[in-house]
Amino acid sequence: MKVARFHAPGDIRIEDAPEPAAGPGEVKIRVRACSTCGTDAKILRHGHHHIRPPRVMGHEIAGEVVETDVPGWAPGDRVQVIAAIPCGTCGECRRGRMTVCPNQESMGYHYDGGFAEYMVVPAKVLAVGGLNRVPDGVSFAEASVAEPLACVLNGQELARVGDGDDVLVIGSGPIGCLHVRLARARGAARVFLADLNPDRLALAADRVRPDAALLGGDIADEVLKLTDGRGVDVVVTAAASGAAQELALRVASRQGRISFFGGLPKDDPIIRCDSNLVHYRELTIVGANGSSPAHNARALELIASGSVPVADLITHRLPLSGVLDGIDTVIRGAAVKVTVEP
Ligand SMILES: [Zn+2]
Ligand SMILES: [Zn+2]
Protein backbone atom coordinates (compact mmCIF):
# COMPACT_ATOMS: atom_id res chain seq x y z
CA MET A 1 0.00 0.00 0.00
CA LYS A 2 0.99 3.66 -0.35
CA VAL A 3 1.89 5.79 2.67
CA ALA A 4 3.25 9.31 3.29
CA ARG A 5 6.19 8.92 5.64
CA PHE A 6 8.20 11.47 7.54
CA HIS A 7 11.94 10.74 7.41
CA ALA A 8 13.46 14.07 8.44
CA PRO A 9 12.56 17.79 8.32
CA GLY A 10 11.85 18.63 4.68
CA ASP A 11 11.79 14.94 3.79
CA ILE A 12 8.32 13.40 3.57
CA ARG A 13 8.13 10.57 1.06
CA ILE A 14 5.24 8.85 -0.65
CA GLU A 15 6.35 5.24 -0.63
CA ASP A 16 5.23 1.62 -0.61
CA ALA A 17 4.81 -0.13 2.71
CA PRO A 18 3.46 -3.53 3.69
CA GLU A 19 -0.19 -3.46 4.73
CA PRO A 20 -0.33 -3.52 8.54
CA ALA A 21 -2.22 -6.31 10.32
CA ALA A 22 -4.36 -5.84 13.42
CA GLY A 23 -2.97 -7.60 16.47
CA PRO A 24 -5.10 -8.73 19.40
CA GLY A 25 -7.18 -5.87 20.76
CA GLU A 26 -6.49 -3.68 17.74
CA VAL A 27 -8.68 -2.48 14.88
CA LYS A 28 -7.47 -2.21 11.30
CA ILE A 29 -9.15 0.47 9.22
CA ARG A 30 -9.24 1.48 5.58
CA VAL A 31 -8.47 5.20 5.82
CA ARG A 32 -11.06 7.19 3.86
CA ALA A 33 -10.13 10.73 4.88
CA CYS A 34 -7.22 12.28 6.75
CA SER A 35 -7.12 16.06 6.95
CA THR A 36 -3.98 18.16 7.10
CA CYS A 37 -3.34 21.01 9.50
CA GLY A 38 -0.75 23.52 10.64
CA THR A 39 0.87 20.84 12.79
CA ASP A 40 1.68 18.80 9.68
CA ALA A 41 3.31 21.90 8.19
CA LYS A 42 5.32 22.37 11.39
CA ILE A 43 6.45 18.73 11.31
CA LEU A 44 7.42 18.98 7.65
CA ARG A 45 9.60 22.02 8.32
CA HIS A 46 11.05 21.32 11.76
CA GLY A 47 10.24 17.73 12.67
CA HIS A 48 8.95 17.04 16.18
CA HIS A 49 10.76 15.73 19.24
CA HIS A 50 8.12 13.01 19.71
CA ILE A 51 8.41 11.60 16.19
CA ARG A 52 10.86 8.80 15.71
CA PRO A 53 11.28 8.45 11.93
CA PRO A 54 10.38 6.90 9.64
CA ARG A 55 6.78 7.52 10.66
CA VAL A 56 3.52 7.61 8.68
CA MET A 57 2.03 11.04 9.39
CA GLY A 58 -1.60 12.13 9.62
CA HIS A 59 -3.69 12.54 12.78
CA GLU A 60 -7.14 13.77 11.65
CA ILE A 61 -8.44 10.35 10.72
CA ALA A 62 -11.69 8.76 9.56
CA GLY A 63 -12.20 5.41 7.89
CA GLU A 64 -13.87 2.06 7.79
CA VAL A 65 -13.14 -1.00 9.93
CA VAL A 66 -11.78 -3.89 7.85
CA GLU A 67 -10.43 -6.30 10.46
CA THR A 68 -10.67 -6.70 14.25
CA ASP A 69 -11.20 -9.11 17.12
CA VAL A 70 -12.42 -6.36 19.45
CA PRO A 71 -15.99 -6.95 20.65
CA GLY A 72 -18.42 -4.28 19.51
CA TRP A 73 -16.56 -3.50 16.28
CA ALA A 74 -17.08 -5.15 12.90
CA PRO A 75 -15.93 -4.72 9.32
CA GLY A 76 -17.81 -1.90 7.62
CA ASP A 77 -18.19 0.22 10.76
CA ARG A 78 -17.51 3.90 9.96
CA VAL A 79 -15.12 5.35 12.53
CA GLN A 80 -13.20 8.43 13.62
CA VAL A 81 -9.94 8.17 15.56
CA ILE A 82 -8.62 10.50 18.29
CA ALA A 83 -5.19 12.06 17.74
CA ALA A 84 -3.94 12.59 21.31
CA ILE A 85 -3.94 9.39 23.35
CA PRO A 86 -4.10 9.86 27.13
CA CYS A 87 -2.88 6.98 29.31
CA GLY A 88 -6.19 6.79 31.19
CA THR A 89 -4.56 5.78 34.47
CA CYS A 90 -2.35 8.64 35.77
CA GLY A 91 -3.44 11.19 38.36
CA GLU A 92 -4.59 13.73 35.75
CA CYS A 93 -6.53 11.15 33.74
CA ARG A 94 -8.20 9.85 36.91
CA ARG A 95 -9.24 13.43 37.68
CA GLY A 96 -10.80 13.66 34.20
CA ARG A 97 -8.07 15.97 32.87
CA MET A 98 -7.09 13.83 29.92
CA THR A 99 -5.88 16.73 27.77
CA VAL A 100 -2.99 17.31 30.15
CA CYS A 101 -2.01 13.68 30.67
CA PRO A 102 1.79 13.73 31.04
CA ASN A 103 2.01 10.32 29.36
CA GLN A 104 0.08 11.44 26.29
CA GLU A 105 1.04 9.83 22.98
CA SER A 106 -0.21 10.74 19.51
CA MET A 107 -1.29 9.16 16.26
CA GLY A 108 1.20 10.02 13.54
CA TYR A 109 3.93 10.60 16.17
CA HIS A 110 4.23 7.50 18.35
CA TYR A 111 2.05 5.37 16.07
CA ASP A 112 1.67 5.31 12.30
CA GLY A 113 -1.04 7.74 11.26
CA GLY A 114 -3.66 8.23 8.59
CA PHE A 115 -1.73 9.26 5.50
CA ALA A 116 -1.97 5.64 4.35
CA GLU A 117 -4.44 3.34 2.70
CA TYR A 118 -4.66 1.20 5.82
CA MET A 119 -3.89 1.91 9.45
CA VAL A 120 -4.05 0.05 12.73
CA VAL A 121 -5.85 1.68 15.66
CA PRO A 122 -3.70 0.86 18.73
CA ALA A 123 -5.28 -0.94 21.70
CA LYS A 124 -4.38 2.14 23.79
CA VAL A 125 -6.82 4.22 21.72
CA LEU A 126 -9.62 1.73 22.29
CA ALA A 127 -8.82 1.54 26.01
CA VAL A 128 -9.67 5.24 26.46
CA GLY A 129 -12.75 5.26 24.20
CA GLY A 130 -10.86 6.92 21.37
CA LEU A 131 -12.55 5.15 18.48
CA ASN A 132 -15.87 6.81 17.65
CA ARG A 133 -18.70 5.74 15.40
CA VAL A 134 -19.33 8.29 12.65
CA PRO A 135 -23.01 9.30 12.82
CA ASP A 136 -25.20 8.67 9.78
CA GLY A 137 -25.20 11.59 7.41
CA VAL A 138 -21.65 12.65 8.32
CA SER A 139 -19.14 12.01 5.53
CA PHE A 140 -15.65 10.66 6.16
CA ALA A 141 -14.17 14.02 5.17
CA GLU A 142 -16.38 15.84 7.68
CA ALA A 143 -15.59 13.23 10.34
CA SER A 144 -11.86 13.86 9.85
CA VAL A 145 -12.46 17.46 10.96
CA ALA A 146 -13.91 16.24 14.28
CA GLU A 147 -10.40 16.08 15.78
CA PRO A 148 -9.47 19.75 15.26
CA LEU A 149 -13.03 20.72 16.25
CA ALA A 150 -12.57 18.70 19.46
CA CYS A 151 -9.46 20.78 20.26
CA VAL A 152 -11.42 23.98 19.57
CA LEU A 153 -14.20 22.73 21.84
CA ASN A 154 -11.70 22.12 24.64
CA GLY A 155 -10.36 25.67 24.18
CA GLN A 156 -13.81 27.28 24.28
CA GLU A 157 -14.89 25.26 27.31
CA LEU A 158 -11.80 26.42 29.18
CA ALA A 159 -12.44 30.03 28.06
CA ARG A 160 -16.14 29.61 28.93
CA VAL A 161 -17.46 30.96 25.63
CA GLY A 162 -21.20 31.34 26.02
CA ASP A 163 -24.42 33.29 25.59
CA GLY A 164 -24.10 36.92 24.65
CA ASP A 165 -20.30 37.01 24.49
CA ASP A 166 -18.45 39.20 22.04
CA VAL A 167 -15.61 37.03 20.77
CA LEU A 168 -12.47 37.95 18.84
CA VAL A 169 -10.61 35.17 17.03
CA ILE A 170 -7.08 36.10 15.94
CA GLY A 171 -5.90 33.87 13.10
CA SER A 172 -8.18 32.86 10.23
CA GLY A 173 -6.78 29.45 9.35
CA PRO A 174 -8.90 26.31 9.70
CA ILE A 175 -8.71 26.45 13.50
CA GLY A 176 -9.79 30.10 13.51
CA CYS A 177 -12.72 29.23 11.24
CA LEU A 178 -13.80 26.43 13.57
CA HIS A 179 -13.56 28.83 16.53
CA VAL A 180 -15.90 31.27 14.77
CA ARG A 181 -18.42 28.53 14.00
CA LEU A 182 -18.29 27.00 17.47
CA ALA A 183 -18.58 30.38 19.22
CA ARG A 184 -21.79 31.00 17.27
CA ALA A 185 -23.09 27.55 18.19
CA ARG A 186 -22.41 28.37 21.86
CA GLY A 187 -24.50 31.53 21.67
CA ALA A 188 -21.91 34.27 21.16
CA ALA A 189 -23.47 37.64 20.34
CA ARG A 190 -20.83 38.81 17.86
CA VAL A 191 -17.73 37.09 16.52
CA PHE A 192 -14.88 39.05 14.97
CA LEU A 193 -12.09 37.45 12.95
CA ALA A 194 -8.64 39.00 12.53
CA ASP A 195 -5.57 38.09 10.48
CA LEU A 196 -2.47 39.68 8.97
CA ASN A 197 -2.78 37.79 5.67
CA PRO A 198 -5.46 39.47 3.51
CA ASP A 199 -5.98 36.47 1.22
CA ARG A 200 -6.43 34.02 4.06
CA LEU A 201 -8.77 36.41 5.87
CA ALA A 202 -10.89 36.96 2.76
CA LEU A 203 -11.14 33.21 2.09
CA ALA A 204 -12.10 32.50 5.71
CA ALA A 205 -14.54 35.41 6.00
CA ASP A 206 -16.27 34.27 2.84
CA ARG A 207 -16.97 30.90 4.48
CA VAL A 208 -17.69 31.72 8.12
CA ARG A 209 -19.10 35.25 7.80
CA PRO A 210 -17.77 36.92 10.96
CA ASP A 211 -19.51 40.08 12.18
CA ALA A 212 -16.33 41.91 11.23
CA ALA A 213 -13.16 40.80 9.44
CA LEU A 214 -10.21 42.78 10.79
CA LEU A 215 -7.05 43.01 8.74
CA GLY A 216 -3.62 43.59 10.30
CA GLY A 217 -2.51 47.01 11.54
CA ASP A 218 -4.91 48.52 14.02
CA ILE A 219 -6.85 45.53 15.19
CA ALA A 220 -6.95 46.86 18.77
CA ASP A 221 -8.44 50.20 17.69
CA GLU A 222 -10.99 48.45 15.51
CA VAL A 223 -12.07 46.11 18.28
CA LEU A 224 -12.42 48.95 20.77
CA LYS A 225 -14.45 50.93 18.23
CA LEU A 226 -16.73 47.96 17.56
CA THR A 227 -17.35 47.47 21.28
CA ASP A 228 -17.72 51.12 22.38
CA GLY A 229 -14.37 50.93 24.09
CA ARG A 230 -15.36 47.95 26.21
CA GLY A 231 -13.34 45.23 24.51
CA VAL A 232 -14.44 41.67 23.85
CA ASP A 233 -15.52 39.10 26.43
CA VAL A 234 -13.33 36.43 24.90
CA VAL A 235 -10.19 36.56 22.78
CA VAL A 236 -8.87 33.40 21.13
CA THR A 237 -5.39 33.50 19.64
CA ALA A 238 -5.48 30.88 16.89
CA ALA A 239 -2.00 31.71 15.64
CA ALA A 240 1.54 30.92 16.74
CA SER A 241 2.14 34.58 17.52
CA GLY A 242 3.35 36.28 20.67
CA ALA A 243 2.19 39.62 19.21
CA ALA A 244 -1.33 38.18 18.95
CA GLN A 245 -1.20 37.14 22.61
CA GLU A 246 -0.04 40.61 23.68
CA LEU A 247 -2.80 42.14 21.56
CA ALA A 248 -5.34 39.87 23.26
CA LEU A 249 -4.44 41.37 26.64
CA ARG A 250 -5.20 44.86 25.33
CA VAL A 251 -8.60 44.11 23.80
CA ALA A 252 -10.13 41.86 26.45
CA SER A 253 -13.01 43.42 28.37
CA ARG A 254 -13.17 43.59 32.14
CA GLN A 255 -13.50 40.01 33.43
CA GLY A 256 -12.59 38.93 29.90
CA ARG A 257 -11.21 35.49 29.11
CA ILE A 258 -8.22 34.94 26.89
CA SER A 259 -7.43 31.62 25.26
CA PHE A 260 -3.81 31.17 24.24
CA PHE A 261 -5.04 28.47 21.89
CA GLY A 262 -2.08 28.37 19.53
CA GLY A 263 1.31 27.58 21.05
CA LEU A 264 4.37 29.72 20.37
CA PRO A 265 7.61 28.61 18.69
CA LYS A 266 9.71 26.61 21.15
CA ASP A 267 12.66 29.00 20.86
CA ASP A 268 10.56 32.16 21.34
CA PRO A 269 7.82 31.56 23.94
CA ILE A 270 8.19 34.70 26.11
CA ILE A 271 5.69 37.58 25.82
CA ARG A 272 5.24 40.88 27.63
CA CYS A 273 2.21 40.84 29.88
CA ASP A 274 0.96 43.88 31.83
CA SER A 275 0.14 42.02 35.00
CA ASN A 276 -1.86 44.98 36.30
CA LEU A 277 -4.27 44.62 33.39
CA VAL A 278 -4.86 41.04 34.47
CA HIS A 279 -5.17 42.12 38.11
CA TYR A 280 -7.47 45.14 37.88
CA ARG A 281 -9.60 43.87 35.03
CA GLU A 282 -9.93 40.40 36.53
CA LEU A 283 -8.81 38.73 33.33
CA THR A 284 -8.58 34.98 32.93
CA ILE A 285 -5.86 33.56 30.70
CA VAL A 286 -6.19 29.91 29.76
CA GLY A 287 -4.21 27.54 27.57
CA ALA A 288 -5.47 24.61 25.50
CA ASN A 289 -3.68 21.36 24.78
CA GLY A 290 -5.44 19.18 22.25
CA SER A 291 -8.60 17.32 23.18
CA SER A 292 -9.89 14.36 25.14
CA PRO A 293 -11.70 11.33 23.69
CA ALA A 294 -14.98 12.78 25.03
CA HIS A 295 -14.34 16.06 23.16
CA ASN A 296 -13.95 14.06 19.93
CA ALA A 297 -17.28 12.29 20.45
CA ARG A 298 -19.01 15.60 21.14
CA ALA A 299 -17.37 17.23 18.12
CA LEU A 300 -18.88 14.51 15.92
CA GLU A 301 -22.29 15.24 17.46
CA LEU A 302 -21.87 18.97 16.79
CA ILE A 303 -21.13 18.18 13.14
CA ALA A 304 -23.96 15.63 12.83
CA SER A 305 -26.56 17.96 14.36
CA GLY A 306 -25.59 20.79 12.03
CA SER A 307 -24.60 23.03 14.98
CA VAL A 308 -21.09 23.35 13.56
CA PRO A 309 -21.07 22.76 9.80
CA VAL A 310 -17.65 21.79 8.44
CA ALA A 311 -18.29 20.48 4.92
CA ASP A 312 -17.85 23.91 3.35
CA LEU A 313 -14.54 24.42 5.19
CA ILE A 314 -12.98 21.57 3.22
CA THR A 315 -11.69 23.55 0.26
CA HIS A 316 -9.31 20.92 -1.15
CA ARG A 317 -9.53 17.13 -1.53
CA LEU A 318 -6.40 15.34 -2.68
CA PRO A 319 -5.21 11.78 -3.23
CA LEU A 320 -2.40 10.45 -1.03
CA SER A 321 0.17 11.42 -3.66
CA GLY A 322 -0.86 15.05 -3.13
CA VAL A 323 0.02 15.22 0.59
CA LEU A 324 3.02 17.52 0.06
CA ASP A 325 1.01 19.84 -2.19
CA GLY A 326 -1.70 19.82 0.45
CA ILE A 327 0.65 20.82 3.24
CA ASP A 328 2.16 23.49 1.02
CA THR A 329 -1.32 24.87 0.33
CA VAL A 330 -1.90 25.04 4.10
CA ILE A 331 1.41 26.90 4.59
CA ARG A 332 0.53 29.46 1.92
CA GLY A 333 -2.88 30.07 3.49
CA ALA A 334 -4.52 29.31 0.15
CA ALA A 335 -6.84 26.70 1.67
CA VAL A 336 -9.12 26.43 4.66
CA LYS A 337 -9.06 22.66 5.18
CA VAL A 338 -7.18 20.22 2.98
CA THR A 339 -8.40 16.62 3.19
CA VAL A 340 -6.40 13.70 1.86
CA GLU A 341 -8.44 10.75 0.61
CA PRO A 342 -5.98 7.83 0.41
ZN1 LIG B 1 -4.24 18.67 13.37
ZN1 LIG C 1 -2.76 9.99 31.92
For the segment 10-68, what is each residue's pLDDT rounded down to a tens digit? 999 999 999 999 999 999 999 999 999 888 999 999 999 889 899 999 999 999 999 99
What is the percent of the chain with per-residue pLDDT over 90, rounded to a whole number?
92
Average pLDDT over residues 149-173: 98
CA distance from start to end of the chain = 10
Average pLDDT over residues 124-150: 98
Q: What is the pLDDT of residues 190-239, one digit of tens each?
A: 999 999 999 999 999 999 999 999 998 889 999 999 999 999 999 999 99
- From the CA of 173, the nearest ligand is 1
Residue 56 and residue 8: Cα distance in Å, rounded? 12
- Cα radius of gyration (the chain): 20
**Residues lining ligand 1 (ion), CB within 5 A?**
37, 39
- Give the type of residue at 288: A
Higher-confidence residue of 77 and 332: namely 77
Cα 229 to ligand 1 centre (Å): 35
Residue 249 and residue 274: Cα distance in Å, rounded? 8
| Inter-CA distances, 110 with 15, 99, 211, 267, 324, Å | 19, 17, 41, 23, 21
What is the percent of the chain with per-residue pLDDT over 70, rounded to a whole number?
100
**Residues lining ligand 2 (ion), CB within 5 A?**
86-87, 90, 93, 101, 103
The whole-chain average pLDDT of the chain stands at: 96
Domains and CATH numbers, the chain: 2-145+310-340 (3.90.180.10), 150-287 (3.40.50.720)
The pLDDT assigned to 330 comes to: 86
Cα 98 to ligand 2 centre (Å): 6
- From the CA of 148, the nearest ligand is 1
Cα 152 to ligand 1 centre (Å): 11
Asked if the model's pLDDT at residue 176 lies above 90, the reply is: yes
Average pLDDT over residues 94-120: 97
The pLDDT assigned to 216 comes to: 86
Average pLDDT over residues 103-109: 97
The pLDDT assigned to 313 comes to: 96
Cα 147 to ligand 2 centre (Å): 19
Asked if the model's pLDDT at residue 332 lies above 90, the reply is: no
The pLDDT assigned to 331 comes to: 84
Residue 49 and residue 190: Cα distance in Å, rounded? 39
Cα 296 to ligand 1 centre (Å): 13
The pLDDT assigned to 217 comes to: 80
The pLDDT assigned to 38 comes to: 87
Question: Does the predicted TM-score (pTM) go above 0.95?
Answer: yes
